[in-house]
Structure 1
Amino acid sequence: MVYADSTIRSADLPPLMRHALLIVVSAGLGFAPPLMPTLHPPAYAQTVSTAVQRGYTLLGQGAVDQAIAVFERALRSTPNSVEAQLGLAIAYRRAGRDEDAFNAYERVLALDSSNRLALAALGVLGEFRPEWQQRGIAALTTLLNLDPGDTGARAQRALLYIFQGQFDAAIADYEIVLQQNTAPEVLIGAAQAYTFSGQYEVGIGLFRQFAATGTPFQPDQAIAYGIALREMGLAQQAIPVLEQTLVQTPAAAAAAARLRGALASAYAANQQVNQALAVLSPLPSRGDSRLILARAYQDLERYTGDPSFLQTAAQWYQQALLATPDLTSGVAREVADAFSIIPGYEQEALNIYQQLVQQYPSDRTLQMQLAVTEYQLNLIAASDLTSRLQTLLQPPPTDANDQRIVAQTLIRIDPPLPDLLGTYQTVAQLENSDPFLYFRIAQIYNQLGQYETAKQALSNYSSSAAGQRDIYSSLLLLADIERQQGNLDLSSQRYEVILGANLRDSQLITGALQGLAAVRQAQGRIDEALALYDQVVALNPQDPAKQLGRVALAYEGDRISEAEAVATLNQWLTAQGTSGQFPPELFSLVSILPAAPEREPLYDALLQLEPDNIPIYIRKVQVVAQRDPELAQALVEVLVLQRPDDLNVYFVQGEVAQAAGDLTLAKQVYEFILSQEPTNIGALQSLGGVQFQRRQFTSATRLYNRALALNPQNSEARMVLADLAVVRGYRLRAIEQLEQWQLEQWSQGIYDPEIAEQLQRIREGYLQQRGFQPPWERF
């Protein structure tokens, strides 16, 4: 039996396995450990006292209490008798006095350190209490050093490794045992070890081998099997396994509650939400089901995207805290991890992490979790977080559990910090890391404007087993990368695939709608973009930030005035600014509004939170340039020195140089960007603009044509090329090009007033050049 106060640290496990292992450990793994060897009177009985021989005889007759008395008397006269200590240990064990037995076996080993029976017995007793697990592992390791072929001892050590969360070590033992022993108890133990390590496919194969033996699944074995199937996208197969086991389990048993929680998760994964809620319905009245309900509702949110389920999960976690204030460290950590990702509960997560750090000051992973939570609550700046994490990760952890938790902690930083890129790359390469770190690395490269490198990092995630089960997250990021590269048609297609997939994940749907709205905006289809953003607002009625996003879009599309946009911003800051939460939509609106000295404190506050936010940094520099151009140039130079690999920084430098009239520097900057990314449309157009200003019209035309070849739907490039044709004396060509572009737009249902205005301006200039008065000026 394993007690519920197990010391296994659930938070050290992959996020999807946390609650599973805590459940399984709380009730035992359900397979029998090697039987305690029975001891007959020693063969060398002639050297053993008559009293000790009598003790063994009484044990053989089942007179356990009498045998204990005999062995205790014998030890008073001969305290160093190995035979008497061993007999007493066995008698204690048979009497159910486990702690006395444990101590007696330790005394045997103090007298005879290689006593195989005592070593094996400690290995079995290690299963009984969490504080004995490590001693049991050590005893079995000694026994295996004496006899490497003892598969029973190796299988038992693997079991204890599972209890300790050391799945890689457990798997290493099971790989050896399975070569010689495929008994059902070995198969089921190995299946669970592989499942808990995240190797679901191997785990499923072993579970199926176990099922083929005809041995029925015990409740927690069925739960582990269900998890493996669910994580491989086979929830439909998990449901009958769990349903059958639930029917065979007494309703009042604690295992029945655990089965209901697991079955609800399987139903949710299979999009059977009503069935999931129904199977959970008996649990709220049970005092032993608070954590089970919390975990099940987390899974409901995970598979449906419905944020209300996450709030329900938080409420059950709160009830668990109130009912059991002295939670074990593993459960406390689980609760803190859950609170850290539930809006409105971050402060409670912080409180728990602070308490755990006080209890376990040498645990670097706890200190990392605390630092990330402080950052999420805006209690520390990004630079402070970066410094603390880099210090805590010197050297990187070697323990498998610590490697997992470090990876999961870094994943929580969203959006990821570019200054931590090296840290992400180091941790991603650890043996027990999480492949989602490559997704975060791709996000960082996307932020840095290194789009092809971002795609390579994303492919590392999407090709992993986890990534293949999460294709739409990868598709959403890929669509965003394509959009920023200027590949608007391809980006649009990817967003539409997500929206057409009939997903229930509101976050993915929201992201795809916002991305597609940005594409339509870039294509000049403002009304379509606004209609898409109306869907975003409707999908997120409780999120006032989404309204900010719509205002930003409407302002940038000339559908509302600057005064209206500023008024909305000020209203939001008055109502929400004190919360300390600054959503991406706020950054977006602030960055597209013109630089304003009165907003400089806001720029500073936002840069304190996101020092890598280039659009906000540009506004800050522009405000500084109004009062001190040299200081603005110096700020940009410092930024370049700090972030030499960030192409976005060079765009800032180029823009500031252009604004200051230093076209030579601006040209050099944009040429440098193109040397790093020859297909960067933004750099091509920016350099083309500089060449236009320098009156190098042929060069400018060539650059804009390159940009247009990369994205034929690039309206800005077409309009500038028309202006270049005009200044080079080709007005009629410019008019023909714009008319053709206007017809293409009309065929797609797009009316761009800027094209009409430019056509009118060019035609007017052409008529005046020819000596005619335009008809609209005659009256």
Structure 2
Amino acid sequence: MPNGSNFLHTQDSTWFTRFNKMFVYGISFVLLANTVPVSDTHAAVPASVDHFRMADTLQQQGHTEKALAELRKATTTDPDDYLNYVKMAGVLAELGRYREAISAYETSIRLDSQDPMIFFSIGALAEQLGNFEKAESAYLAGLRKNPQYVYGHKNLARVQTQLGKVNEAIPNYQKFLANYTKQYDARRDLANLLLYANREEEAAREYRRLKHEDPKRFSEHLNFARALTRSNSAELALQELQQAMLKEGDNADLLEASANAHEALGQTSSAVQKYRQALSQNPEKVEIHLKLADLHLQKKQPDQAIEAYQAYLNKKPDDTQVRHALANTYLAQKQYPKAITTYKQVLQQLATVPSPQAGMADPVQQAKTQEKVVEVTKQLAYAYQVNGSLDDAIQLYEALLKDTASKGQTPDPQIKNNLAIAYHKAGKLDKAVALYQQTLQAKPNDPALRNDLTSALMALGDKYYTEKEYLQAEKYYLHALSIAPDSNVAPRLGLANVYYILQKADSAYTPRAVEAYERVLVQDPQNVLARLYRARLNLLHREYQSALPQLQQLAVNHPKNLEVQLSLGEAYASLGDPALAALTYEKALKLDPKNIRLHLAAGDAWQQLGDFAKAQKSYEQARLLAPKNHIVLYNLGVVYQRQEKLKEAEQAYQQAFAQNNTFLEALFALATVQEKQQRFQEALGTYQQYAQKAAGQSSSSSNADYLKQAESRISLLKQKMP
């Protein structure tokens, strides 16, 4: 009887892991999202939900055993909540405790859940344990609830084969293949089962399909070949040739004819072999090299095709057509320097064609030659372009367009488009935009041209955005939107980002930024940047309760996006929860331990919590990464001062002010540290220096407060002086 080790191919060892994870994350997390509120952190919820949430967090952090312990608490607290058992089953499966996982799934079924995917999970776990009877029962139960889940039929067929239920397995494979016709392994298994069941005609049909799908692997079914139809004229030809070879020997003509027959049958390897034998018999049959080149290209063996072309050209170096084919092969294989050299050789050969004025050439042939020159020049220009030799490409494209214009001919739109692309890549964006617009006028409905023009306009907008010329950037983003208002979110997103920057200084831009991000989300609801910066707008305008659920959802969907994690931490901090903020930053730092902003933010959060040692550690990490950053140095001074490390604080403040002598907060803080060390003369001088500099700066409420304090300290210190 067939079994998994000797009749069917053994399943991939990673299959179960992938299958199980689908259920762990697909069932547990989805059900959690649908049943547990996440936006209201102060709502009263059952204790079991807290355990569930903690388990979810621990599992994501890789603490699977701890997650399991929390889930056991959840099931003890609320033994009637099936969701706890679904989650527990997933965790147990992840730990390799499959029997316990099955038990947990079965408990969830008894309590409430009738999700067919749970039955399929039980089947997968039972199959992993070698309990094929239980796996079959589970798969059947799942299919009764969801008969449209075609992979369930494949899984059921597999375990039925293990159980020897061939006639039951066959229709399940057929149902699966009715939906997935290109599943080679499943079709091979079905063919094997049909043959085992003595249903040879059906088996033959399946083997024939397998042969058509992958002729190279048909040798696996050689012992079944009698069931397939093979007779055709090429085979008869081979028989005749074999008889002739018995009589005449392996001469080059017979070998070449045999190769032709093999080629007609699709037996390319045999054809190549016979062609090579023919060449060894008669090296002067140079045309065979071209046949070999064609065969190698069919077999996707470009290196061998190139060797065949070169062998031919060694014998016939003046064959321009073959040299051109060689150049095209180099280009297709991205061997751009060789393609460039070979195209140049082709052009040199074409230039030797006699001119009609000399009375030595047919004008019609000369016209064809000129067409060939233009074709090869275009290809040479393109080879330069993809090789990064943009100036050479631009020169050739411009020469082609100039020649066309001098003859009063319509310019080739492909040349204009390629030139525009070359301009674009070379950073000549204004020229690229102008040329794209010209080509678009000729083909206004060409989506590719519209995309290229939009891309160039976007590049100009991005250029000005990077240079902080935001109004210029706005102009080009708006132009890009006018070309493709609905097909591309990038221009609208660029425009939204411009308004986001501008609204920081001018609140009149805030509604524009909001509208732009909202319109991006209408086109692309899952656009991460638009969702993130829409939430950040809420943060900037202190709409924390609106921002928080958006950022929490983004963090779940994009846990490795540092901007999302940073913004979520800011939201927690703004809502007065520095502990969650600190944990969020620390989690993000595991992804990018060299992110200065995250270290600074984490330090601020720890400082808010009063954990100055951890704050110091965060700021010191930031200083290692940016030793001259005055903000980092100042914050480090603050946390030193709070820990009474006055000498270290003084040094940090001095360094901060040395890096930026307009950063007067550092100077004021330095004076306070000097005063605290009872170095009153130095403190007085520093306060006076601060007051002098602050008086010359723009007034603000914070500056005014600091200045008032400095003047008060100066007055008091003068009284202490002898």
TM-score by length of structure 2 reads 0.46
TM-score by length of structure 1 reads 0.44
Q: Which structure is higher in RCO with an 8 Å CA cutoff and minimum separation 6?
A: 1
Considering only CA atoms, is the larger Rg found in Structure 1 or Structure 2? 2
